[in-house]
Amino acid sequence: MDEIKIREILQRYQEGKCSDEERAWIESWYLQFMDDSETEDLDTSNMSHAKRKIWSSILSERSVAHSKRYLYPKVAAAAAVLLVMGIAFYLFRNNSEVQQQEIAAQEEIIRPGGNNAYLTLADGKKINLTDMQEGMTLEQAGMKIVKRSNGELVYEISNSSATGDRLGSNTIETPVGGQYQVVLPDGTKVWLNSSSSLEYPVTFAANERKVTLNGEAYFEVRSNKKKPFRVISEGQTVEVLGTKFNVNTYKDEPAVKTTLLEGSVKVSLATISKILRPGEQASIVGQNIEISSVDTEQVVAWYKGDFVFDGAELKNIMRQISRWYDVEIIYQHDVGDIKFGGSISRSKDIQEVLKVLSMTKGVNFKVEGRRVLVML
């Protein structure tokens, strides 16, 4: 007999509408059940056990005859208690299921990235910087590496007389959906975007400061005219003395781009070199360097914690979203060169970012797991 049938019989008994046979079953159960001290207290914790015992007793005692007039009030009260508790148990269970579903739905919300990175030391030891406690210090060949409260990794000279293996290199790398800031041994500040890596010496050489970049980073180089700062990436070299600039070398982008905010830089590719002025961007296309004027605030918005889409193509935007939220982008239609305008914080959930984009140009999005479907 299922739960619905039990409910119906108990309801009819309470209302005095059940058949003689149903009443005999219930009253037969009552006499036996009330003698069982283990089930004296009915609560949600033993509802399932009580119901099984009740109906087992009822079905096995069909022929037992008792005074209906004497038993009815007590059994009706017991039936009422069981019915109410049964309904409460049912509602509690369903409410719990709804809450679990809501929690599961919340868990499916795709959160933004954050300060996540790994540091590989010169001896090959790999450290998860997310797990590294704030204020924690590492000693490495005369250098002290400190994690500050803002998530910044800082190199400080702890022993100026140390030499030898100080010439080894460290590598800091961010996963998809990660970013990190590091202050290099010379005081240069570097913000590393998601899915990127930067290799740099523990101590720079006497005549130059050279680092190797994969992915994207924003640099604020400490001025030193005697030691040029060079960024090696994807076949190009960016040389500076002291300046602010951004380098984007993602392999899924159509070009390697260097954008200058302040100062002066020289971008070199094989035998070609170009000098950039503030507000200009160098794009490596094939074996050529193309120079154009750009909105620098849009280029470096990522390190300030924002997405800025001022005339940006949808595919460019979706590549940024893919890297930051660690999602796969699926185009169900040809979106061509649709361009967008606007901005939103990178701290927002992906649904909020997509909502901003869907408000214009007639583009719609659907999130399925860690896939984003782009539809017209």
Q: What is the spatial distance between Cα 94 and Cα 97, in angstroms, rounded to a whole number?
A: 5
Contact 182, 119 (CB under 8 A): no
Residue 194 confidence class, pLDDT cut points 50, 70, 90: very high
Contact 218, 190 (CB under 8 A): yes
Residue 66 confidence class, pLDDT cut points 50, 70, 90: very low
- Determine the average pLDDT of the residues in 65-78: 49
Contact 143, 158 (CB under 8 A): yes
Above 70 in pLDDT, residue 67? Answer: no
The CA-atom distances, in angstroms, between 133 and each of 130, 137, 276, 287, 301 are 8, 9, 40, 45, 28
Q: Which residue has the higher pLDDT, 363 or 1?
A: 363
Return the structure tokens found at 60: 């096995």
User: In sequence order, what are the beta bridge partners of 179?
Assistant: 115
pLDDT, residue 103, reads 44
Q: Which residue has the higher pLDDT, 281 or 21?
A: 281
Above 70 in pLDDT, residue 206? Answer: yes
Return the structure tokens found at 363: 């583009």
Q: What percent of the chain has pLDDT over 90?
A: 43
Measure CA of the first residue to CA of the last residue in the chain; give whole Å.
53
pLDDT, residue 352, reads 92
pTM over 0.85: no
Q: Which residues contact 131 (CB under 8 A, 6 or more apart)?
A: none
